[in-house]
Amino acid sequence: MRKEDVIIASDSITGLPILPQTLWELVKLYQQKVTDFQKLKALLFGDVGLCAKVLGEINSIEDKQEPVNSFDQALKALNLEQFLIKALSSPLYDLKNSEEIVWHNRFNQSSVVSALACKFIGEEISYPDLDELYLCGLLHDVGILFLKDSFPEEYTLVLERKNNGEKLSQIEREILATDHLEAGEGVIAEWVFPRNLKKAIIGHEDNAKESYEPAELVPRIVSVAEQITEIIFVETEAQVLEKLSRSWGKSINLPSGFFNRIYPKLSEEISKRAVYYQDVPEDLTDVVLQAHKLITTLVQNCEDKTKEKIRELCRKNEEEKKKAELESLKIILATFSHYINNATTSIMGRSQLIDIAIKRGDIKDENGKISSSMKIIQQGVENITAVLNGLKRLDSFRTVRYHERSNIIDIRDKIEIKGL
């Protein structure tokens, strides 16, 4: 198999399956009048596929006003309707295939246990962001889910050989030309949140070093959490556990006895998850139909909001256009006013001098034609000044047809033109 084929096939998280129980819980959650974000968070924290999808949405938001600092903040800023459309459209794994059911349940269960172990370790060492550690633990092996979903037949061979004791990543490279670490890294290549997830995915198997830089802390925590998960699911000798405990102390400063303290909590979670996995709705057809109905409603809501947003943008664009036109008009008007006012002042001054000369008898106007002409000139100057002043007071305007090929600004209700 070519590596390019793997990259293309695992390039999107859209096709990742989710648990049928998760689908049912999503339907019930949306049917509530007010979204319970804590319940939604609990659903996301219990399903690897769904959690990957929501983080994909969070990291794809283009108009972030500020960087994402916490999962709770990101969840509340999410476009919930758009996410639910994608989530409710997620494929379910084949419930007729018992091996598929067992594998997916175990994969999700072990991922959740690793995530909880990461959280408990974080509490022990006072790590500042426990949600980040949980997400890193939950998704550190997301590459496995991608490869198994994209290449089910080939990955069945991978799992068969792994059950015989061979190293998983080595088998993956032989059969698929890549491994789950590289596949997982490729899937989240553009993600910026959680900030240490990429390090956790590509670095959690590199646990041979005894010293570490602070930047390597998260993958080391995930590596220890993965070992703890394996111990819980596979019977381990006391000597082996003791040796691992010492290595944890060197790697991330975990005190002795830590495993014994968290073991009851993790065992309780395993029991809860076991019950949850068995609680599959009897009639999935009804669940799928309800999900489809909700998708239809959500899509219609999104379309309505999109149309309203387009209308609002059109209104704003029209307002901006008119504002720009008005600003341009004011600039042109200021230029015209400067030169026209100079001319009208001169014309008005000259006409007034002629009136004075007529009154003094310096100019003879026996039939009054000159005086009449001067009044018309003065009225014309006043009309020009009134038009300019009226244009200056405009805060909006409309045009009317002037003649066949041009319009003029309609200011008839703004000024009074005399003598016309």
Note whether 383 and 240 are same-domain residues: no
CATH number at residue 84: 1.10.3210.10
Note whether 91 and 203 are same-domain residues: yes
Note whether 326 and 276 are same-domain residues: no
> Which of 232, 260, 281 is the endpoint of a domain?
281
Better pLDDT: 397 or 352: 352
Per-residue HEC secondary structure of the chain comes to: CCHHHHHHHCCCCCCCCECHHHHHHHHHHHHCCCCCHHHHHHHHCCCHHHHHHHHHHHHHCCCCCCCCCCHHHHHHHCCHHHHHHHHHCCCECCCCCHHHHHHHHHHHHHHHHHHHHHHHHHHHHCCCCHHHHHHHHHHCCHHHHHHHHHCHHHHHHHHHHHHCCCCHHHHHHHHHCCCHHHHHHHHCCCCCCCCCHHHHHHHCCCCCCCCCCHHHHHHHHHHHHHHHHHHHHCCCCHHHHHHHHHHHHHHHCCCCCHHHHHHHHHHHHHHHHHHHHHCCCCCHHHHHHHHHHHHHHHHHHHHHHHHHHHHHHHHHHHHHHHHHHHHHHHHHHHHHHHHHHHHHHHHHHHHHHHHHHHHHCCCCCCCCHHHHHHHHHHHHHHHHHHHHHHHHCCCCCCEEEEECCEEEECCCCCCCCCCC
302 domain-assigned = no
pLDDT at 214: 44
Note whether 274 and 336 are same-domain residues: no
Note whether 255 and 363 are same-domain residues: no
pLDDT tops 70 at residue 148: yes
pLDDT at 398: 72
- pTM for this one? 0.72
Number of domains in the chain: 2
Domain that holds residue 402: 322-409
pLDDT at 66: 67
Note whether 119 and 237 are same-domain residues: yes
Note whether 360 and 269 are same-domain residues: no
- pLDDT, tens digit (0-9, with 9 covering 90-100), for 386-398: 877 777 777 777 7
User: 6-10, 82-86, 164-168, 284-288: lowest mean pLDDT where?
Assistant: 6-10
> Which of 250, 266, 281 is the endpoint of a domain?
281
